Every structure is written in C-alpha cells, then in structure tokens.
Homo-oligomer: A and B are copies of this chain.
Amino acid sequence: MNYKIIHGVLLLPSPDGYTTEKKTIYIEGNRISRITDPMEDASFSVDAPSKEKSFETIDASGKLIIPGLINMHTHVYMTIMRNYADDLPFDKWLFQKVMPVEDHLPRECAYWGSLLGLIEMIQTGTSCFVDMHMYHEQSPKAASTAGLRAYIGRGLVGEDLYDDGRRFREAIEEKEKYANDLLSFVLSPHAVYTCSRKLLSQVTVEAQKHGMLKQIHLSESKNEVENCLKENGITPVELLQQIGFLDQETILAHCVHLRGDDIGILARTGASVVTNPASNCKLGNGFAPIGQIRQAGINICLGTDGAASNNSLNLFREMGLLTMIHKGISEDPTMAPAPFIIDSVTRNAAAALGREGELGVIAENALADLVFLDMNSVSLFPANNPLSALCYSANGSEVDSLMVNGRFLMRKREMLTIDTERVYYEVGKIIDSQL
C-alpha cells in the first residue's frame, strides 16, 4: 500500500456550498483515509505510517486542491476531428463531414484519437469521464493507458439488440474484459431516432440484469422532437418513460428541447440530465432550459460532448459557458451561481454515477481523485473568491497536477502515463491518411 500526505488548501463542501481550508490529507492506496487540521511537527511523528510502508509527503503550497472534475458526456475518439467541421449546417456537418470519416476510419485510429482527448482532459483537470464510442475496445484501452476513471459504452443502434447483435455483444465483451476499479461500463443506446422501442426496452432489461447504468442522447435537436411527435404522437422523453427506460440509473445527454410535461417526467423518474452547452450552441440546437430543469429538482451534470462539436474537452471552458449562457438567457446574474456550476462537474456527476461520497468530493473515504491548481496563475490572482475563480476566470491552464485513484497522471505539468509525442505522431499520420 502506498501512503501520501498532502499539505494544502482544499475545496471542501460546506452547508451553503463550498469553503476553502488549509488541511492535511492522508491517502492510503486509492482513497483519502483522513483529513486533519494542518499537521504540526509533533503530530507528524505520531501519525506517520510505520517505516516498512512507502509514503510520500507532498507540499502543495500555492495550490488549490479540488476534486477531480467529471465530464459526463463525451466521445473521446472524435478528438481527431477537432476543428475539422465547423460553421456548417447540422446535416452537412454530420452527413458530409463526420460520418464519412467515421465510416472508413480503421479501428486503431480511435485509440490514438481517444488518447489525444485524454491528454487534453488530464491537462485540464478531468479525472473521470462518461464516453459513448463506436470502435470496439479502443476507448477502454485508451482510458487504461491514461489511468483515468471512465464509464464507457459502445453505442447501440437498430431494431433488435440480439438480431443486430454485434454491437451489444461487443459492449458486453468490453465489460467482461476491461471492467476494474477504474473502468465501468454503461449500456448506451444512441438515441430514440436510431433505436427501436424494442431495442430500448431490451436495453432496459439488460441494464437491470447486469447492474449497469444506461446513457442516451435525448431531445438534442428540434428535429428529433418534431419527428418523434409526428411518428409516435409523443415526445422522446414520453417515449422513454412508456418503455420504462427512465430511472435513477439513467444518464440523459442534452435535453435541449423539452415540451409539455417532459421536465415533470424527468423529475419523477430521478434520471440525471447532462447539459452540453458548447455542443448545443455550436450545432445550432440552442440552449437547454437549465433554470426550469434545476427548479424541478433534476440532477444536472455537465459534459463537453465530442471534439467534433465543441471543439474542446476542457471542462473549465464548459463551466464558464454554462453559467454565462444561463445568466444571459434569464437576464439574472444570480442564475447558475458558482456552487451550482462546481456541483455540476463534481457532486452531481457522482450522484448520477451512484458514487456519492466517493467521487466529486474531497472527504474521508472518498477516492483520491484530486486536481492541483496553481493559484499564482494570473487568471486566478488575486484569490478574492476561489469558487468564482473556478467558474469565471480559470481557463484550465492553471492545472498543475492531476491525481486519479491515488496516482499522479500529471505532476507539475509533466505527463506521467501518456507518451504525448507518440500520440501526436500517430494522430498526425491518421490526419494525413484519413481526413
């Protein structure tokens, strides 16, 4: 077992949101075992692990330590398409640019594309992500290489989960082969317009059987909702409710175009909503009604979506955008305040993943997923209010170190698990040959 003792200023939960306090954290293996007042020399000798254990003391002065951020919706393999298809109408973007690339891309390209995305995530403080992919095994392989925590799902489409069964078989194979402490697997039907009712209800059954979370893209565009109304006489939300798909183990990406009682339905089922403001703006889908979703008591998380529609996987950028958009729409500067924005990438995400108290929080018994921010970055100086700093002035470049599961993936900006030069080289080759 490895022991680490960290002295630093922590972002901690408080009754009215968050507070920052100077503390000492003890880490045993992959968990925070204790948090104490700043350790004094006297207590050090008493509390120090015995000599046969390996331990390390980390001086984090000048740093703010926050929980690892959780990106609740992305497609990391798409990072090779960063800045590849922009300022285009949605149909052109999808059918003339993105899909032709996806269709002929050799599978291993997705591994390098995913690693490129994970470099960006690590450098901007993301410790955990929820991914939907379409290239067997590449996303879990990349997450394993990087050492990030991940919830991964093979995108499912079609009429029947078992007849068109390759994708489902691969989804289960991935789970059996790769599931471990860091990697979990999520059943991931793509959307109501690409999956039949039958498939969606088969997924519901399989999720219960395997104890898996479910994720789906939902009510992302006006077209999706209007076509669903035309074909089924009900909204995509109502359709999922009829099937019994919606429950506390369900993660719903987008939810931009909600109609009628959609918000009420989501609130009653306990499903979590993942808003992706950059992607929704960039593809012209508009703004999710975050004010009403929040008021209904629905759990709201934040995602970047893939780099083909954002074009960044930097959650700091996304946090700023989320608060700005919702203050702007409501013309109310108190909307989407800093504690809510921080919740959306920490505690709310942990709740959606069923890991409250373990992820998204610095607390005793929580997993040791920590971001160290350099408070001497000019964007965070002066430190009048660290909560505001995280939402309103940070741009992600302040991340000095990232620890996941008690292990540093980046330390003092040095990448420790990914050979970035190799990734750039491989991605460069793919761009030259495939795009």
Contact A331 B284 (CB under 8 A): yes
Cα separation A67 to B281 with both chains bound (whole Å): 27
Which residue of B116, B383, B389 is within 8 Å of A378 (Cβ)? B116
Known contacts A321-B324, A392-B310; A333/B384 CB under 8 A: no
Contact A396 B397 (CB under 8 A): yes
Q: Say whether A86 faces chain B, with CB atoms less than 8 Å apart.
A: yes
Most buried by B among A86, A327, A337, A338: A86
Q: Say whether A277 faces chain B, with CB atoms less than 8 Å apart.
A: yes
Contact A381 B87 (CB under 8 A): no
Cα separation A359 to B392 with both chains bound (whole Å): 30
Contact A333 B385 (CB under 8 A): no
Interface residue range, chain A: 35 or more
Q: Say whether A320 faces chain B, with CB atoms less than 8 Å apart.
A: yes
Which residue of B84, B312, B427 is within 8 Å of A395 (Cβ)? B312
Q: Say whether A345 faces chain B, with CB atoms less than 8 Å apart.
A: no
Q: Say whether A88 faces chain B, with CB atoms less than 8 Å apart.
A: yes
Q: Give, as a whole number of angstroms, the nearest-CB distance from A339 to chain B.
A: 9
Q: Which of A75-83, A240-248, A360-368, A400-408 is found at the contact surface with chain B? A: A75-83
Cα separation A287 to B428 with both chains bound (whole Å): 39
Known contacts A86-B338, A88-B333, A338-B87; A311/B382 CB under 8 A: no
Known contacts A286-B331, A397-B397; A378/B87 CB under 8 A: no
Closest B residue by C-beta to A121 = B378
Q: Give, as a whole number of angstroms, the nearest-CB distance from A258 to chain B.
A: 15
**Which residues in window 113-167 of A have CB below 8 A to B?**
116, 119-120, 123
Q: Say whether A204 faces chain B, with CB atoms less than 8 Å apart.
A: no
Contact A331 B282 (CB under 8 A): no
A314 to chain B: which residues have CB within 8 Å? 379, 395
Contact A222 B331 (CB under 8 A): yes
27 residue pairs of the A-B complex, CB under 8 angstroms, read A82-B382, A83-B380, A83-B382, A83-B385, A87-B388, A88-B334, A90-B333, A93-B333, A277-B324, A278-B320, A281-B325, A282-B324, A282-B327, A282-B392, A312-B395, A314-B395, A316-B395, A317-B320, A321-B321, A376-B424, A381-B424, A382-B428, A382-B431, A382-B435, A384-B431, A395-B395, A397-B397
A316 to chain B: which residues have CB within 8 Å? 395
Contact A333 B392 (CB under 8 A): no
Query: Residues on A close to B: CB < 8 A?
Result: 80-84, 86-90, 93, 116, 119-120, 123, 222, 277-278, 280-287, 307, 310-312, 314, 316-317, 320-321, 323-325, 327-335, 337-338, 376, 378-386, 388-389, 391-393, 395-397, 420, 424, 427-428, 431, 435
Contact B327 A325 (CB under 8 A): no
Contact A333 B82 (CB under 8 A): no
Q: Give, as a whole number of angstroms, the nearest-CB distance from A411 to chain B.
A: 17
Contact B119 A89 (CB under 8 A): no
Known contacts A324-B321, A381-B427, A382-B427; A312/B282 CB under 8 A: no
Cα separation A191 to B427 with both chains bound (whole Å): 52
Contact A393 B333 (CB under 8 A): no
A307 to chain B: which residues have CB within 8 Å? 393
Which residue of B93, B325, B380, B384 is within 8 Å of A81 (Cβ)? B384
